[in-house]
Amino acid sequence: MTATSAALTPPADAIPPVRHPDAPAPGELLGSHYEYCFGCGGGQPHGLHLEARAGEGVTVTAEFTVTPDHQGAPGLAHGGVLATALDETLGSLNWLLRVIAVTGRLETDFVRPVPVGTVLHLEAAVTAVHGRKIFSTAVGRIGGPEGPVAVRADALFIEVKVDHFIDNGRPEEIQAAMSDPDQVRRARAFEVNP
């Protein structure tokens, strides 16, 4: 296991995170931020279909079941899929801050193998905010929310404007997301990935 890099250590003048007053209530299912997101979208047949719930403060919990589509070595989850699950869970935290942010850096430790068929229980928390930088941490456990740690990550998210997606995304998907009549879904479509 490696120590967290200096880039993921909040500066001394960073402030504690503050949950937005309009954030989903603790226990509320956050739902997919975008139907075709590989991490949480229902429109991805081989995706993670990760389900995140708001926690207390600026925390979330999430779960996903490792299927045969997610394996790397025979019978075991692919490390990239596990990193994706951590990234998706960490990205969900931004919904509690009500900001649009993208992953700037993600450092992952793989502690133990995760077999196909396992339900991975994830917890994530924002630890500090410094300007546009959002520092967070997550852990994934097997065998239940109190089970042994299988993976963990520290991350830095950077707050961006919606133009980041409009200027860089494929026009067909951007237009489809922006045409959604549901204002919340429209806003959430642009909240997680770089």
pLDDT digits (tens, 9 = 90+) for 74-100: 999 999 999 999 999 999 999 999 998
- Looking at residue 189, its pLDDT comes to 61
Question: Which run of H or of E encompasses 97?
Answer: helix 79-97
pLDDT band at 4; cut points 50, 70, 90 = confident
Please state the pTM of the whole predicted model.
Answer: 0.85
pLDDT band at 32; cut points 50, 70, 90 = confident
Domain-embedded: residue 193: no
Count of domains observed in the chain? 1
Identify the CATH number of the domain in which residue 160 sits. 3.10.129.10
Segment among 27-41, 73-87, 111-125 with least mean pLDDT: 27-41
What residue has token string 């520290």?
Answer: 154
Q: Which domain holds residue 24?
A: 16-182
Q: CA distances (Å), 78 to each of 81, 111, 181, 189, in order?
A: 5, 13, 37, 26
